Each structure stands twice: as structure tokens, then as C-alpha cells.
Amino acid sequence: MELRSETVLASLEMSEVGSDEEYESLPAHASLGTHMTAGAVAGVLEHTVMYPVDSVKTRMQSLQPDPKAQYRSVYSALKRIVRTEGLLRPLRGLNITVLGAGPAHALYFACYERIKRSLSDVIQNGGNSHIANGVAGSVATVLHDAFMNPAEVVKQRMQMYNSPYRSLYDCVLTVSRKEGLAAFYRSYSTQLTMNIPFQAVHFITYEFMQEHFNPQREYRPETHILSGAAAGAVSAALTTPLDVCKTLLNTQENVALSSAHVSGHLSGMVNALRTVYRLGGVPAFFKGTAHPGTEERRSQGQPYMRPVSTEAHPKSEREDQQTKEDAFDSKGNVDAHFLCSRHSSSFFVCC
């Protein structure tokens, strides 16, 4: 009886250890199709939930936006877009994103899990390896972006203010007819240059934070939230300049290219970097992020990043009137949500 009891206890302990090590991942015997399905579902949900914020980010990264499309925060942007362009306008282009995100994320997660596991077995005898995490994330990104880049081009063109495209089909047809199929991969090198370090830094930071705050790999959601937030913030901060260049290459913003005296279509990461710097200097590389304390620095007379404008004054009378309208509700009372958005210290990293 004692031998049998010890055997049962040993089995339970091994089961608990295995459970702790693998609770974040699918079982070791999970098939490739299972990894791909899980990745596809996760990717579609991620893009769907964050899509309205992504639409705002695309517009805020415009180098020379229309006066009606200059926003101070994510909240005020969404509020104005819904009020002036319709409730579903922030979701325009979501269909192509879903179509691209499914296969792209399926390949991404399947590739990441396989490569991470294989390299970890070689480097750390099955243990966690930062090198394995970084390499796996980088290789998976190459496959992911190959599928996602055309969808990104269509998505961002449909997200822009006053987009001339009536539908997904109209956008694909018009771009391919006027600019050729190469237009859908014009930003691919920039996307890879941005996403490979982004994913590598993201996974390394996430795993490092998890080892520090949750070394036993127990089920503690708060550590995942903290680790994910830190990883996303660090990665986004390092790659925002390239994200601005990617948006310019994808949208081929006519007003900005005309102001920079660019004839034809802009292509190449180096040309995009030069164009962004020529039009807005260093601050232009960080368009699309809302920094906590921007409003406070403004009130104290300290410098802050202004949107690039073709007008003599960065803020037009129409914008000033729009801001005043945002401050009051339909009954003429001060809008509390507006005040909160103006003085909130929240930090948005739109990636």
C-alpha cells in the first residue's frame, strides 16, 4: 500500500508540474492545425476589438491632414468621426483585415510555437530561452507580413479621411490598375524592418517580465496584463517612427507627397524616412501617439508636438469651432467626457 501511495503521489506531482509549465500553451501533442486555428481566432479577435483605435492611429499619422481630421486624442477622434461620418465609419476596412488576419495569424502562431520549442530544446534543453523566443518571433513575422501586407494597404487607404474608395473591391481594383500589384508590397521591407524588432523585443520583454513576476508560471492574470502592457509599450516606443513611414508608403498621401515635391509614387524605406523628416522633422516620426501630460505642457508654455499643417497657423478657425462644439453637449452644458479626455493622464500606444 505504501508503494502504491507513493506512486500515486509522484504521478500527481508530475502532473502538477507539467500543468504549471504548459498552462499558457497548447498541449505538447497538439497538432499543427490546432495551433493554426487558435492563432487565427486570436488574431481576428485582436484586430476586431482594437480596430476603431487603429483607424484613429492611421489618421493621426497623416503628415498633412485635412483640418477636419486633426485630432487631440483617441476619444475625441472617435467621438468626432462617429458624429460627423457615421457610427460604422471607424470600422471601415475591417472586412479586409479579418480576411487577412485569419491566415496570417494562423501561420504566425504555428511557426512561432514550432520554432520556439525546437530552439529551446537545443539551447536550454527544453527550458525557456530568450534567444529562441526572439528568433521564433522574427521568423514567424516574415510569414505573417507576407499575408498581411496587402490587407494593410487596403485597410489604411479605406481608413483615411475622405477615402475615395467605395468598397473593398473598388480599392483593390483601383490600386492594382493604377499602381500595379507591387503597390500592395511597397511597404513590405519597412513592415519587416519594423515588425521583426517589435516582435522580438515584445516576446523577450514579456517572457522576462513573466520570469520576474510569475517565475512558477502559475495562473495569475494580473501578471499577464502587466507583462503584456510593458512589452507592448517598449516595442511600440522603439518602432513608432517606422510605423509612420509604413503608413505613408501604404496610403501614398497625395497632399504630403505634393508638398515634398515627390513625383509619382513614393517607394522604399529610406525615401519614406527622408520625406517624413522633410515634412515634419523629428516630431513627425512620433505622430499617432498620445503622450500623458501633453495638455499640461501646453498650459505651462512648454514645447509639444504639433500636427503638420499646410496653413499658416496649425489650428484653423474651423478646428477651434469644432473644439468648442466638442466641449458642450446638446443642451449647452459642459461635456464631462470632453473634460476627462482633455485632462486624462492615460497613455495610448497605438500599434
Residue with cell 507583462: 227
33-42, 73-82, 265-274: which range is least confident on average? 33-42
Query: For residue 290, what pLDDT is reported?
Result: 56
140-149, 176-185, 210-219: which range is least confident on average? 210-219
Give the global pTM. 0.70
Mean pLDDT score across all residues of the chain: 78
pLDDT, one tens digit per residue, over 109-168 is: 888 888 888 888 888 777 777 788 888 888 888 889 999 999 999 999 999 999 999 999
Domains and CATH numbers, the chain: 2-348 (1.50.40.10)
What is the C-alpha radius of gyration for the chain, rounded to an integer number of angstroms?
A: 23
Residue 28 binned pLDDT confidence (cut-offs 50, 70, 90): low
Where does the chain have alpha helices with state H? Answer: 2-22, 32-60, 74-85, 94-123, 130-159, 168-179, 188-213, 221-251, 254-259, 269-280, 294-299, 317-326, 336-343
Instruction: Give φ, ψ of 107 to 5 degrees.
Output: -65, -40
Closest alpha carbon to 139 in 45, 203, 210, 207 = 203
116 within 8 A of 204, measured Cβ to Cβ? no
